Amino acid sequence: MKRIASSRFHSAARFAAIGAILFGAAFFPIHNGFTRAAEKELSAKDRAAILEDVWRNVRDRYYDPEFHGVNWDEVGNRYRPLVQNVKSDQEFYALVSRMTGELHDGHTRFYSADQWDYHEKDLGVSIGFFTAEREGAVVVTEVQPESSAAHAGIEPGMIVLTVNGKPIADLISQAEKTVLPSSTERLTRRRVLSSAYSGGIGAPFQIGLQRADGTKFEASITKQIIPTPPDVRDILLPSGEAYIRFDGFKPPVVQEFYEAIEKYRNAPGVIIDLRYNGGGQTNVLSAIAGFFFDTKTVIAESLSRKAIDSEEKSGESKAHRPMTAGKAGGQIYSGPVVILTTEATASSSEIFSAAFQDTGRAKIVGSQTCGCVIGIANNQKMKGGGVLEVSEVLYFTPRGRKLEGDGVTPDAQIVPTIADLQQKRDAALTQAEQLLATMGGAKPVVASSGLQR
């Protein structure tokens, strides 16, 4: 766990410190088109068998028997002949990935062996910065420390004009014709933007940018492997409120978050930053959520393919399976909480945010979340090391709201402007602090010091 703490410092220094925490890397799992050359290529027979296995697994396991209205039989018939035309494993993996993408679902996906290895090791392949569409322009929103982009002088708030000499608007228009729609328009737009930087590890890019003062320059960068650990980072704000950020619900985070929230058990308010949290394991989600509830509390409900099939056969509606968190003596922090979200807040982090919102445990500040919330019960390894993940479980909030395709709507919607980014203003964080001031009231009751583990 990393921590920056200070009892007082002025605004500019404050946001510089927050920025040091904020700009750690985080990805929602998206195929980046990187695959190292295999020692031995798959045979044409192997490829055909793998594609058939992927198709059959989706047919039998996918949470929606209607496949989102997609004719899955037709998809299989259309892709099977295409296998014979691929020239390499890389082309094959891209083909299978595109086939699973026909479901318009951000969670059902096929990884090459290398993609899966990077995913499991919290490694991402990145150009070193992220962008968003703001005010009719493509603006840099985040730069990853020690990346070639950072060394080239790229900063948040810069406007992207060209990529390898081509106008970014033209590249986006081309991508709009080829990128398949996903769970939501928000995720689809993120994939469209990332398609402007297609290429494998080491691919060079010349990025034409415009600075805040209107001057232009060109940065030379390369796509590289960048660690994306979910580490907990925390800071004590001048107001006395605590700020905690983590970028994934993975096992090591439970202990790190416990240590952080234990430090701040008497803080007048806590801000949990999930703006770059792409999700993770629901058992980790439940464990962290439990630090904020003093009784067993329903934080989500789920519905599996098996339950849906049973309902269709019997004609009877079955209760959703509850997910719970909290227990007597397990609560560490009982004070007011604000959660920060963006369109990159996805999967388990959306379940977490919705749970706190529906139970009245927290307010949400930021922008609409991804709306990419389907559970993967098991992954399946294929010949050659590729791995298939199939969406098998649909999630609902404690009040019965479906999250897939919808996401979480913040209580206070704050989308950073280009000026905010250029002037290093964190408008969402400021709003969160102001909201906590109205939520605080009396000093929070100190929870039980003994955590049953």
Asked if 108 and 62 touch (Cβ cutoff 8 Å), the reply is: yes
Instruction: Please report the pLDDT score of residue 40 as a whole number.
Output: 77
* pLDDT band with cut points at 50, 70 and 90 for residue 79: very high
- What letter does residue 452 receive in the DSSP assignment? P
CA–CA distance, 45 with 399 (Å, rounded to integer): 49
For residues 300-325, average pLDDT: 75
Instruction: Please report the pLDDT score of residue 438 as a whole number.
Output: 93
Q: How many residues are listed for the chain in this entry?
A: 453
Neighbours of 212 (CB within 10 A): 14
- Give pLDDT tens digits for 325-367: 999 999 999 999 999 999 999 999 999 999 999 999 999 999 9
For residues 101-126, average pLDDT: 92
Asked if the model's pLDDT at residue 83 lies above 60, the reply is yes
The token duo for 75 is 């998809």
DSSP letters, 61-86, are H-S-TTGGG--HHHHHHHHGGGGGG-
CA–CA distance, 208 with 160 (Å, rounded to integer): 6
The token duo for 214 is 């209107």
As a whole number of Å, the end-to-end CA separation of the chain is 20
Instruction: Please report the pLDDT score of residue 68 as a whole number.
Output: 86
Question: Of the candidates 346, 362, 370, 433, which has an alpha carbon nearest to the alpha carbon of residue 398?
Answer: 362
Return the CA Rg of the chain. Answer: 23
Asked if the model's pLDDT at residue 392 lies above 80, the reply is yes
* pLDDT band with cut points at 50, 70 and 90 for residue 228: confident
Asked if the model's pLDDT at residue 442 lies above 80, the reply is no
* pLDDT band with cut points at 50, 70 and 90 for residue 372: very high
* pLDDT band with cut points at 50, 70 and 90 for residue 315: low
Strand (E) or helix (H) holding 21: helix 11-22
CA–CA distance, 83 with 96 (Å, rounded to integer): 9
Q: With H, G, I as helix, E, B as strand and everything else as coil, classify residue 246.
A: coil
Its sign, for the CA torsion 106, 109, 115, 121, is positive
What value does the mean pLDDT of the chain take? 87
- Give pLDDT tens digits for 168-181: 999 999 999 999 99
CA–CA distance, 125 with 36 (Å, rounded to integer): 12
Asked if the model's pLDDT at residue 437 lies above 80, the reply is yes
CA–CA distance, 291 with 417 (Å, rounded to integer): 34
* pLDDT band with cut points at 50, 70 and 90 for residue 410: very high
Beta strands in 233-341 (DSSP E): 233-236, 242-245, 270-273, 297-304, 321-325, 337-341
Asked if the model's pLDDT at residue 310 lies above 80, the reply is no
Asked if the model's pLDDT at residue 4 lies above 90, the reply is no
CA–CA distance, 184 with 182 (Å, rounded to integer): 6
Q: Quick one: what percent of the chain has pLDDT higher than 70?
A: 86
- Give pLDDT tens digits for 230-242: 999 999 999 899 9
CA–CA distance, 417 with 428 (Å, rounded to integer): 11
- Give pLDDT tens digits for 35-77: 444 457 999 999 999 999 999 999 999 999 899 899 999 999 9
Asked if the model's pLDDT at residue 453 lies above 80, the reply is no
Instruction: Please report the pLDDT score of residue 168 as a whole number.
Output: 98
Burial 68-82 (b: 16+ CB within 10 A, else e): beeebeebbeebeee
CA–CA distance, 64 with 59 (Å, rounded to integer): 10
Asked if 266 and 444 touch (Cβ cutoff 8 Å), the reply is: yes
Do 2-26+229-372+407-439 and 124-227 show the same overall fold?
no
For residues 2-25, average pLDDT: 36
For residues 88-101, average pLDDT: 96
Asked if 339 and 414 touch (Cβ cutoff 8 Å), the reply is: no
Neighbours of 13 (CB within 10 A): 12
Q: Is 315 exposed, middle or buried (0-12, 13-18, 19+ CB in 10 A)?
A: exposed
Give the global pTM.
Answer: 0.86
Question: Of the candidates 270, 192, 274, which has an alpha carbon nearest to the alpha carbon of residue 232?
Answer: 274
Q: Quick one: what percent of the chain has pLDDT higher than 90?
A: 79
CA–CA distance, 61 with 346 (Å, rounded to integer): 22
Crossing angle between the packed helical segments 72-79 and 89-101, to the nearest 10 degrees? 160
The CATH class of the 124-227 domain is mainly beta
DSSP letters, 263-275, are HTTT-S-EEEE-T
CA–CA distance, 349 with 280 (Å, rounded to integer): 8
Asked if 20 and 4 touch (Cβ cutoff 8 Å), the reply is: yes
Indicate the CATH number of 44-120 among 3.40.50.11540, 3.40.50.300, 3.30.750.44, 1.10.1060.10: 3.30.750.44
**Which residue ranges make up each domain of the chain?**
2-26+229-372+407-439, 44-120, 124-227
CA–CA distance, 40 with 272 (Å, rounded to integer): 46
Instruction: Please report the pLDDT score of residue 319 as a whole number.
Output: 59
Asked if the model's pLDDT at residue 18 lies above 50, the reply is no
* pLDDT band with cut points at 50, 70 and 90 for residue 448: very low
* pLDDT band with cut points at 50, 70 and 90 for residue 16: very low
Instruction: Please report the pLDDT score of residue 264 as a whole number.
Output: 97
Question: Of the candidates 417, 389, 55, 371, which has an alpha carbon nearest to the alpha carbon of residue 188?
Answer: 371
Neighbours of 333 (CB within 10 A): 21
- Give pLDDT tens digits for 163-220: 999 999 999 999 999 999 999 999 999 999 999 999 889 999 999 999 999 999 999 9
Instruction: Please report the pLDDT score of residue 359 as a whole number.
Output: 97
CA–CA distance, 53 with 50 (Å, rounded to integer): 5
Statement: 2-26+229-372+407-439 belongs to CATH 3.90.226.10 = yes
Strand (E) or helix (H) holding 377: none
* pLDDT band with cut points at 50, 70 and 90 for residue 402: very high
